Amino acid sequence: MRDLAFALVMLLALPMALARPFGAYLLWAWTGLLVPTAYFFGFMMDARVNFIFAVLTLSMVLLGRVPWRSYQANPMTWLFLAFALHASLCAALAYPALPDNAKYYEILIKGLTFCLVMPLFVRERVHFHAFLIVFALGFGIHGVLNGLKTLASAGGHNMLGPMGTMVADRNHLSTALTLTLPILFYLQTYSARFWVRWAYLGAMAAIILAILGGGSRAGFVAVAVVGLWFLFTTRRKGMALFLLLAASVLFIMFAPEQWTDRLSTIKAADEDSSFMGRVIAWKISSAIALANPVFGGGFHAVQSQFVWDMFKFSPGLFGIFDLPIPEFSAKAAHSIYFEVMGDLGIVGLVLFLTLLLRGIWCRYQIKRMVKALGRQYQWARDMADMLMLAILAYMVGGASVSLGYLEAIYMILMLIELLRLHVFRATTIAASEVKA
Amino acid sequence: MEALLLLIDMLLMLYLCWRLFRSGANDSDATDLGLLHYREDV
């Protein structure tokens, strides 16, 4: 039945997408974030809807339906291009027979391609707002579904993301979902309709419930950081305090006992075999990077048993610690930083960190410019705050999960750069008006 | 419950596309997102 409903919705959306390239672009984003086919069981299971909207949008761009001169040139585009080029070389020069090399390379390139097109479409406030709505509808829905299942099962639900995607694992999904919280908070603050604001608030509560009930320590740490940053920086301290209190109550009510036991191991990390396994994976990832500082080992090289065995005796960056030689088989890098370092070398890590830091720098630029523009652009400052908070959540939560190639973070980085450009244009216009 | 939420999600996305389509302006110069629109000041 849901297959049929989706097919009908797509049939209705397609002509509108053909008429409005921005609509096609948003449908590309939505199908990429939602991965709707993961929720189907019938004839739409194998439908390549995301591919269809990607091809449709790119065709319209190539055919000149969206003029190339409207491309907003910006430094983030060049950084993305450099990162994509470097990643391509790393994938080509990877260790032989890496099982996930092609898969993760494809994920990254698809995500970067989507973001590289964004400066053609996202320009005015309405575009930013529409894009954030699509982000919430596409990505937030995974959290809302899991949150409601946690509620219905009184904490017994085993959280899962869409199968076959990067966020299928509960730790990955928990961390990725923390990125949606600041965006929902912005939408909740600025939506015009009362009931829409309540819907966003409900979605936030469901996502917090999903993260806290999901049992992921990375997700818990990320959501705690988001909560505290909210409280210290937002203009709406009352709402932030209310959300924090609500989250605490939900946590006490729904966190399963084994979860609180698991959480307590954060304090005794050196005795926790799961944590020590991660440290070993970090050590081996760093050893791969030191052996291949320019091009790394290739995508998810650390997960190849051949590469793991080759580097398991190397101290990497952890020579000062007395770490045991691992007896277990190859495992994931368990950190965005060590993942990128092992896969794309030190050069790749520097590029990756530059992207993230550029995002944070954009927020400070926007804040400075909005001060001069006045209250009329307060929305831009609030949006920049929330986008930066999403970046921070990713940087903190990602420290212990392999989410280096998550499309959502690259979208946020390009979005904050375009927001900076939008505010910069407004500043230039205001300055010329003053002169006149 | 899952199917219902997915349906709502799809319909909201369809509504957004409809609003962009109705804006009538060329390319991406939408001006009003209808029920999903933003307020100017907070």
Q: Which helix (H) or strand (E) holds A134?
A: helix A125-135
Question: Hey, is the C-beta of A127 within 8 angstroms of any chain B C-beta?
Answer: yes
pLDDT at A415: 97
Q: How far apart are CA A210 and CA A208, in angstroms?
A: 5
Q: Quick one: pLDDT band at residue A284, thresholds 50, 70, 90?
A: very high
Using the Cα atoms of residue B4, residue B7, residue B12 and residue B18 in order, give the sign of their dihedral: negative
Question: Which one of B2, B6, B15, B17 would you mutate to disrupt binding with A, by most A Cβ within 10 Å of its Cβ?
Answer: B17
Phi, psi of B38 (to 5 degrees): -105, 160
Range from A32-46, A167-181, A247-261 that averages highest in pLDDT: A167-181
- Of A185-199, A227-241, A307-321, B1-15, the one with minimum mean pLDDT is A227-241
Would the pLDDT of A190 be above 90? yes
For residue A3, the distance in angstroms to the closest alpha carbon of chain B comes to 10
Question: Hey, is the C-beta of A185 within 8 angstroms of any chain B C-beta?
Answer: no
- Quote the crossing angle between the two packed helices A336-373 and A273-291, to the nearest 10°: 90
- Of A18-32, A152-166, A200-214, A393-407, the one with minimum mean pLDDT is A152-166
Closest residue by Cα to residue A94 from A347, A302, A354, A278: A302
- Give Cβ neighbours of residue B39 (< 8 Å, ≥ 6 apart): A190, A191, A192
Cβ atoms A230, A389 nearer than 8 A: yes
Using the Cα atoms of residue A80, residue A84, residue A89 and residue A95 in order, give the sign of their dihedral: positive
Residue B21, token pair as written in the block: 């389509």
Entry pTM = 0.92
